[in-house]
Amino acid sequence: MSKASTKETEEEAELPDALNALPRGAKNYITPQGMERLRDEFTHLKTVERPQIVETVSWAAGNGDRSENGDYIYGKKKLRQIDGRLRFLIKRMEIAEVVDPAQQKNHDQVFFGATVTYADAKSIERRVRIVGIDEARLELNEISWISPVARALMKAWDGDVVKMKTPGGVEELEILGIEY
C-alpha cells in the first residue's frame, strides 16, 4: 500500500468543522453539562487513547518495513484522527459561552437550555431540550439551538402557537410546557 493512499484528503480533514459550523456571527452557547462532556472527551483522548496508539505505532515502527505494516499505517491514521479531534475540541472550548439554564428566571418563556413539550398539527406530542450545537444528541431528544424546531420555539411563551418553516410549507407547533 502506498503512502499516498493513506493520506487524508482536505475534505476529510475539514469535515468536523463543516458539520458543526455555527451561523456567521453566532456565539457557541453550551450548557455546563455539555462543556463538561467536551472536557471529558478531550481528557480521555489525550491521556488514554492517544498514548495507547502512540505505543502501538512505536512498536509497529520497530518491526521493520513500514510500507506494508498494517498496525503502523492504521495507527498513524488513527493518530491523525485523534489529533484532529483534539484540535477541534480545543477550538470549540475556547469559543464556548457557557449558559446555565438553572439561572433562567423566566420559566414561562423558551430560552436556551429549556426542555419544551409541544404538539404538532397532528396533535403528536414531543419533548425536546434545547442545547448547544456541540452537545445535541437526537437520541436523547436534545436539539441544537440553531435547529429549525428550536428556532421556532425560542422566545415563545407557554401556551403559544408558533410557526416553523418546513420543506413542505409551514407547520404550527403548540407549546404545552416549559421546564428548566
Higher pLDDT, 8 or 91: 91
| CA-to-CA dists, residue 75 to 43, 57, 65, 82, angstroms | 19, 5, 15, 10
| CA-to-CA dists, residue 51 to 10, 58, 83, 109, 143, angstroms | 25, 10, 12, 47, 33
Q: pLDDT, tens digit, for every residue of 67-92?
A: 778 889 999 999 999 999 999 999 99
Burial class (CB in 10 A: 0-12, 13-18, 19+), 94: exposed
Identify the domain containing residue 80 by its residue range. Answer: 10-16+27-98
Q: How confident is the model at residue 60 (pLDDT cuts 50, 70, 90)?
A: confident
Specify whether 75 is located in the same domain as 136. no
Q: How confident is the model at residue 44 (pLDDT cuts 50, 70, 90)?
A: very high
- Residue 3: predicted pLDDT: 44
Reported pTM: 0.78
Specify whether 122 is located in the same domain as 149. yes
- Residue 20: predicted pLDDT: 60
Whether 2 maps to a domain, the answer reads: no
Q: pLDDT, tens digit, for every residue of 13-34?
A: 444 454 567 778 788 999 999 9
Q: pLDDT, tens digit, for every residue of 121-163?
A: 899 999 999 999 999 999 999 999 999 999 999 999 999 999 9
Instruction: Give the residue from 39, 73, 98 where a domain finishes.
Output: 98
Cell representation of residue 149: 424546531
Q: Which of 2-6, 27-31, 63-67: highest mean pLDDT?
A: 27-31
Whether 4 maps to a domain, the answer reads: no
Specify whether 125 is located in the same domain as 84. no
pLDDT at position 40 over 80: yes
Whether 151 maps to a domain, the answer reads: yes
What gap in Å lies between CA 97 and CA 134, rounded to an integer?
Answer: 12
| Number of domains making up the chain | 2
